[in-house]
Homo-oligomer: A and B are copies of this chain.
Amino acid sequence: MSTPEVPPKKQILLNAFDMSTVGHLSVGHWKNPTDRSATKRKLAYWVELAKLLERGGISGLFLADTNGGFDIYGGDVEESIRRAVQWPVTDPSIPITAMAAVTKNLTFGITASTSFESPFVLAKRFSTLDHMTDGRIGWNIVTSWKKSAFNAIGIDPIEHDQRYAQADEYMRVLYKLWEGSWADDALQPDVDTDTYIDPSKVRHINHQGKHYKLSTRHIVDPSPQRTPFLFQAGASAEGIDFAATHAEGIFVSSPSPEILRAQIEKNRKIAAEKGRDPRSLKFYLSFTPVLGKTDEEAQEKFEALKKNASVVGGLVLFSGWTRIDMYKLPLDEDITTVDSDEARKLRNIFKPTAQTPVWTARLIGEKAAMSDISPSTVGSPATVADVMENWINVADLDGFNLGYVTSPGSFEDVVELLVPELRRRGIYPEAVEPGLTARERVYGKGQTRLRDDHAGSKYKYEVYLEEEPYAT
């Protein structure tokens, strides 16, 4: 569609979205003989995936995480376990270096919670990851809401508002460690004086806050990015405010580009009020395309994949996200004929369409198990790219967090079918400049450190002494 004559179009960002578990957003597909989702406990899965994404020029691989099962459906985790819905789950930080060792350009994002570990421990781990990936690491900041996760960790759940206040302090402790502890020139290897580090250039951080106390220098010298590239998702007022302060990449979901546009505008406005360039917040939509060479082939593929969808698994996911216990609904009855709170809520979400004149719990579960409740499209590369361009243009979106239905399968289609089409349209980079950090991959070469207008920059070594913005 684009031609060399028109001015360069906005380049989109593509993350592959996965989780070190059997069923992530699409559930039940381990039953597909070609699927390898149940082998993610082995390194081969991750090494092959990383090589594929690198070959396809995909910006990043983002891995979700959780510490508890979904327990709304039926009031317990039984079906989450039985259907392998985000269960079992392994630690996403562990396979990163195996993937980093076989790639040069692929960046990585992993989820970690501010609620479950000491800031020092998290700071050390991410500094290590940033060093060992040559600056290719991002962090998806979550505050955690699952009661089951708090029970697993053995602490009392933190109330929602409180959680974000606590997370805000947590972030500021991290900035002190990552940005404020070491001068850029603290490493001064000098053979003659037997000096490796100048200790006067490694500031001792003494944080005595409301939720955290810490007295130490950061134990890791500055990694390429210092602060990892910061992702966040969170649609509540507190979540949006937190993102407007701390997030550089924001994961969003929305039923339509128009609704999303209003949401993104609002988020950017709040960020601007905080003194940030609103365009420096990059919004990624969760999006699961099912691709074929033609629309017909894609549709046939979708129908074939659907045979393995776990209806109950899909309902487990859907119940977890919406807090509507789908276990209480009959599987095959028209939701308009059921008289219950749950059915009433569903009727607000699922309206009859020409394609689906009657909605049942089974159809909702099947749709959820195909990752087809958040935005999803079935079609040829041109069809899918049209939908993506529409999202980008209408919603003022920056990129996509691409889900999969089968792995291998979906991401291969992205690399082989979708990326070439996006490149043809001039909206995806032809080649990646090698050796960029995660932050440079988003903001451009040279922007390895936090932008100056980011909250964390107030804690940079050179300015922190004067300001002590969180001193007590």
- Residues of chain A whose beta carbon lies under 8 Å from any beta carbon of chain B: 20, 22-23, 28, 30-31, 38, 41-43, 46-47, 67-69, 77-79, 81-84, 87-91, 93-98, 100-102, 116-121, 124-125, 127-129, 131-132, 134, 148, 151-155, 189, 191, 194-199, 202, 212-217, 219-221, 223, 310-313
Q: Contact between A197 and B81 (Cβ–Cβ < 8 Å)?
A: yes
Q: Contact between A42 and B131 (Cβ–Cβ < 8 Å)?
A: yes
Q: Contact between B313 and A216 (Cβ–Cβ < 8 Å)?
A: no
Instruction: Give every chain B residue within 8 A of A81 (Cβ-Cβ).
Output: 197, 199, 202, 217
Query: Could you tell me the distance in whole angstroms from the C-beta of A133 to the nearest C-beta in chain B?
Result: 8
Instruction: Report Cα–Cα, A199/B313, bound state, in Å.
Output: 14
Considering the complex, give the chain B residue whose CB is closest to the CB of A76: B199
Instruction: Give every chain B residue within 8 A of A42 (Cβ-Cβ).
Output: 131-132, 134
Considering the complex, give the chain B residue whose CB is closest to the CB of A200: B78
Instruction: Give every chain B residue within 8 A of A101 (Cβ-Cβ).
Output: 43, 47, 98, 101-102
The SS class assigned to the A binding surface is: mixed
Q: Contact between B152 and A216 (Cβ–Cβ < 8 Å)?
A: yes
Instruction: Report Cα–Cα, A202/B78, bound state, in Å.
Output: 10
Considering the complex, give the chain B residue whose CB is closest to the CB of A205: B152
What 9 A-B pairs have minimum CB-CB distances, sorted nearest first?
Answer: A152-B216, A84-B196, A97-B98, A41-B131, A90-B128, A91-B128, A81-B199, A151-B215, A98-B101
Pick from B90, B124, B153, B194: contact of A220, CB below 8 A: B90
Instruction: Give every chain B residue within 8 A of A43 (Cβ-Cβ).
Output: 97, 100-101, 132
Instruction: Give every chain B residue within 8 A of A102 (Cβ-Cβ).
Output: 101
Q: Contact between B28 and A91 (Cβ–Cβ < 8 Å)?
A: no
Q: Contact between A153 and B87 (Cβ–Cβ < 8 Å)?
A: no
Query: Could you tell me the distance in whole angstroms from the C-beta of A461 to the nearest C-beta in chain B?
Result: 15
Q: Contact between B153 and A121 (Cβ–Cβ < 8 Å)?
A: yes
In the complex, the count of this chain's copies comes to: 2
Instruction: Give every chain B residue within 8 A of A47 (Cβ-Cβ).
Output: 101
Given A43-B100, A197-B84, A216-B152: A121 touches B117 (CB 8 Å cut-off): yes
Q: Contact between B94 and A125 (Cβ–Cβ < 8 Å)?
A: yes
Q: Contact between B154 and A214 (Cβ–Cβ < 8 Å)?
A: yes
Given A152-B120, A154-B212, A214-B152: A194 touches B96 (CB 8 Å cut-off): no
Q: Contact between A221 and B88 (Cβ–Cβ < 8 Å)?
A: yes
Instruction: Give every chain B residue within 8 A of A22 (Cβ-Cβ).
Output: 196
Instruction: Report Cα–Cα, A214/B117, bound state, in Å.
Output: 15
Query: Could you tell me the distance in whole angstroms from the C-beta of A40 to the nearest C-beta in chain B?
Result: 9
Instruction: Report Cα–Cα, A313/B197, bound state, in Å.
Output: 12
Considering the complex, give the chain B residue whose CB is closest to the CB of A33: B191
Instruction: Report Cα–Cα, A143/B310, bound state, in Å.
Output: 45
Instruction: Give every chain B residue within 8 A of A121 (Cβ-Cβ).
Output: 67, 116-117, 153
Instruction: Give every chain B residue within 8 A of A118 (Cβ-Cβ).
Output: 116-117, 153-155
Instruction: Report Cα–Cα, A312/B119, bound state, in Å.
Output: 32
Instruction: Report Cα–Cα, A191/B84, bound state, in Å.
Output: 12
Pick from B94, B196, B217: contact of A30, CB below 8 A: B196
Query: Could you tell me the distance in whole angstroms from the C-beta of A305 to the nearest C-beta in chain B?
Result: 14
Q: Contact between A94 and B95 (Cβ–Cβ < 8 Å)?
A: no
Query: Could you tell me the distance in whole angstroms from the C-beta of A458 to the nearest C-beta in chain B?
Result: 22
Query: Could you tell me the distance in whole angstroms from the C-beta of A293 to the nearest C-beta in chain B?
Result: 28
Instruction: Report Cα–Cα, A83/B195, bound state, in Å.
Output: 5
- 16 more A-B contacts (CB under 8 A) besides A31-B191, A88-B221, A94-B125? A41-B128, A41-B132, A47-B101, A67-B120, A67-B124, A69-B219, A84-B197, A88-B197, A90-B128, A91-B124, A97-B97, A98-B98, A151-B215, A152-B215, A152-B219, A154-B214
Instruction: Report Cα–Cα, A94/B128, bound state, in Å.
Output: 7
Instruction: Report Cα–Cα, A31/B134, bound state, in Å.
Output: 24
Instruction: Report Cα–Cα, A217/B221, bound state, in Å.
Output: 37
Considering the complex, give the chain B residue whose CB is closest to the CB of A223: B41
Given A81-B202, A153-B121, A213-B154: A30 touches B95 (CB 8 Å cut-off): no
Q: Contact between B199 and A82 (Cβ–Cβ < 8 Å)?
A: yes
Instruction: Report Cα–Cα, A119/B153, bound state, in Å.
Output: 7
Could you jot down 21 A-B contacts, CB within 8 Å? A30-B189, A31-B194, A38-B189, A41-B223, A42-B134, A43-B101, A67-B120, A67-B219, A78-B199, A83-B196, A89-B124, A90-B128, A90-B132, A90-B220, A94-B96, A95-B132, A116-B121, A119-B154, A148-B216, A152-B214, A154-B215
